[in-house]
Structure 1
Amino acid sequence: MTMEQTLERNTGTDEDSGPAEAVRPRRRAVLPVVAVVTVLLLGYSAIMHFTVGTRDSSLEQVRSGAAGEIGDLTATILSYSPDTVEADVETAKTHLTGNFLTEFSDLGASDIVPRAKQDAISAQWDVTGTSLVSAEADAATVLVFLHGTVTSGATPQPEELSSSVRVRAERTGQSWSISDLEPL
């Protein structure tokens, strides 16, 4: 290698034009890639915003109405009178689901209906308060505070009772069905 070739190589006069031109196409290729990535990220953000927003809206609807509805259902299934006890139990069963429906059906047939008729027992429950424990799009757990008035043929003087129960309910269509009721 001659001295001129060495100087040209060290100063890069001939080789500067080659790499500099090679760098420009790379810069031009980066811009479309950045644009595509930006568009993809914006699309993903929009999808997540609407998906999460819809789910949050659905949960907010559950939270706002579940406690009151489930409380009212609880009072309904616990209330009966001796004259209509069979119909009351059947109506209550339409608001139940799962194992609790089976347990309530058995208890209604073996205990509630016969005792209500035999002893002229009447139970009327009213909701005094509710508190939402947890909520999902299709399930909720609610604490229900109740005030009850129970009368019977043996003691016609009404007996005033207070109770609280933890109620687990599942959404079936547009309404709630109680799947568990736990006295506290």
Structure 2
Amino acid sequence: MKFPVLQKIRRGRRAVLASCMCAALVGVAGWAYLSFLVAPRDAAIGQTQQQVAVDAAADAAVAILSYGPDTVDADLDHAHDLLTGPFADYYGTLTRDVVIPAAKEKKIDTSATVVGKAITDFSQDRANVLVFLNQSTTTADTAQPTTTSTAVRIEMERHADTWLVTKFDPA
């Protein structure tokens, strides 16, 4: 003897079970998609953005610390274009009042090269970078280059697709 009510209950349970299984399968598939396809791509984008910020900081450090006596105005104007905020104002005043006159008067020729660079903190619009540099300087009085090594902590801020220096602190 068959009980129609029990058959309906069993069919209902099977339908609920099948629905739960489908939902679980969709959930696992979604998790797998996010974990294996989307997350690695996001991580790669983050690493690429960090490298862009690090490279911009290194390039700015070289520009800030490199100039010649005959090109000092153009060299430091180029460097100023890589800065923003109060640091840009300070740098403009310092270079106009001190660096440019001294470079022209004493025939200062200085060149910086990056020997190491690393990111210390990063977000979408801000980065802190440590840049290690060697700087070679000659003057009218000393034709033999004087070489110094230094580390600089540089704070960067993203403006559209460009990273600009907001702080430049020798370590």
TM-score normalised by L of structure 1 = 0.74
Pair 1:133 & 2:120 matched: yes
Q: Secondary structure at the match of 1:163?
A: strand
- State the alpha-carbon separation in 2 of the partners of residues 166 and 78 from structure 1: 14
Match of 2:80 among 93, 103, 121: 93
Q: How many pairs does the alignment contain?
A: 170
Confirm whether residue 144 of structure 1 aligns to residue 135 of structure 2: no
| Consecutive unaligned residues in structure 1, runs of 5 or more | 1-12
Structure whose alpha-carbon radius of gyration is higher:
1
Runs of 4+ in 1 over 6 A off after TM superposition: none
Query: Aligned equivalents of 1:53 and 1:160: distance in 2?
Result: 43
Which of 97, 100, 109 aligns to 1:110? It is: 97
Task: Report the residue type matching 2:41 in the other structure.
Answer: T
Measure the CA separation in 1 of the matches of 2:115 and 2:30.
48
**1:27 maps to amino acid:** R
Match of 1:38 among 25, 33, 39: 25
Q: For 1:182, what is the secondary structure of its paired residue?
A: strand
Residues 60 and 114 (structure 1), Cα distance of their counterparts in 2 relative to 1, 3 Å cut: same
How far did residue 89 of structure 1 move? 1.0
Deviation, structure 1 residue 66: 4.6
- The residue type paired with residue 14 of structure 2 is R
CA RMSD after TM alignment = 2.9
Matches within 5 A, 1:39-78: 39-43=26-30, 45-47=32-34, 49-64=36-51, 66-78=53-65
8 Å contact 2:63–2:76 — kept in the other structure?
Answer: no
C-alpha contact 2:56 2:164 (8 A) present in aligned 1: no
